[in-house]
Amino acid sequence: MPEKKSYSYFIGGIIICFLGAICFSTKAIFVKLAYRETDVDAVTLLALRMIFALPFFLVSAAWSSNQRTNIRFTPKQWFAVAFIGCLGYYVSSLLDFLGLQYVSAGIERLILFVYPTLVLLMSFIFFKVRINVIQWLAVFITYAGLMVAFWGEVNYEEHTQKFYLGVVLIFICAITYAIYIVGSGQLIPTIGAAKFNSYAMSFASIAVILHFLLSNDNSLFDLNRDIYIYSFLMAIIGTVVPSYLVAEGIRRVGSNNVAIIGSVGPVSTIVQAYFFLQEPIHLVQLIGTAMILIGILIISKK
């Protein structure tokens, strides 16, 4: 009976991670729609996203801290949660929003999902986490698919220097997000998924809002209506809901497996970009997408 429960618990974690990746993949779509249909800049859009999301995180933080099982943060844990949260959802998000000004939603998601390989390497180097054969096989197939899809996009489209600037920005974003995944994997078992996520996202939201106030003279109260709509949808569907799903997924299946399962994100983004942004899908992209799905099926079977 314990084995049955353990198996169900793991499969539930896989499903949670899968849904979180799908929700996260909508973020790039909303950002590109906002850029295409309005004249909003990256910092303003990111600030609105966090303003709409912050109340949910503050309420959740207060609720988790009032539970009977609550364990108070040590000063070291406060610093770690604030640092990891700002790195994952302030620095990473800012780099991502800036990069999306120059690259398509599909390319953004393909580049960003280099991070599972970085997560595995960081876990292995810094925390001596063993990487088993199944994980290596899944990573190899998944990232071979990503490379095929990326090559197809670059080969079929002409790109300017700003495109490659966007590629660099999003690759750095992948590095900082990988650090967030590894760091959260170390903190969540100690302080809990919901509490960690609530406080980490609250710190990140405050950092983004301060960045806007210090760097931007524009008002947030007289913008185009579409900007508010896209920001709100991005905050709820692309930020609040998936952040809790991913945090719970890390608690159930570990950061390495979350990173691998999350590779479904590029597939979701490419499909959504085709329908909502009219971004073309090439045959090579479809081949790469199929390889990504095979990699995910391998880790799910395991």
Which residue type is seen at 214? L
Average pLDDT over residues 285-299: 75
Q: State residue 158's pLDDT score.
A: 62
**Amino acid at residue number 99:** G
Q: How far is CA 240 from the centre of its chain?
A: 11
Least confident segment among 13-27, 57-71, 173-187: 57-71
Residue, of 52 and 125, whose pLDDT is higher: 52
- Residues 186-225: tens digit of each pLDDT: 888 888 877 888 899 899 999 999 999 998 887 888 899 9
Q: For residue 229, name the pLDDT band (cuts at 50, 70, 90).
A: very high
Among the residue ranges 101-105, 140-144, 252-256, the one predicted with the least confidence is 252-256
Judged on CB neighbours under 10 Å (0-12, 13-18, 19+), 76 is exposed
Which run of H or of E encompasses 227? Answer: helix 225-235
pLDDT at 67: 78
pLDDT greater at residue 205 or residue 145: 205
Take residue 226 and report the two structure tokens written for it: 């579409």
Residue 233 has pLDDT above 90, yes or no: yes
Q: What is the mean pLDDT of residues 95-106?
A: 91
Q: Kindly state the average pLDDT of the residues 8-26.
A: 89
Name the pTM for this structure.
0.82
Mean pLDDT of the chain: 84
Token output for 126: 């810094």
Q: How far apart are CA 116 and CA 10, in angstroms?
A: 19
Condensed to tens digits (0 to 9), the pLDDT of residues 153-166 reads: 666 666 667 888 99
Tokens 């170390």 label which residue? 186
**More confident call, 110 vs 269:** 269
Average pLDDT over residues 159-182: 86
**Residue 152 burial (C-beta neighbours within 10 Å; 0-12, 13-18, 19+):** buried
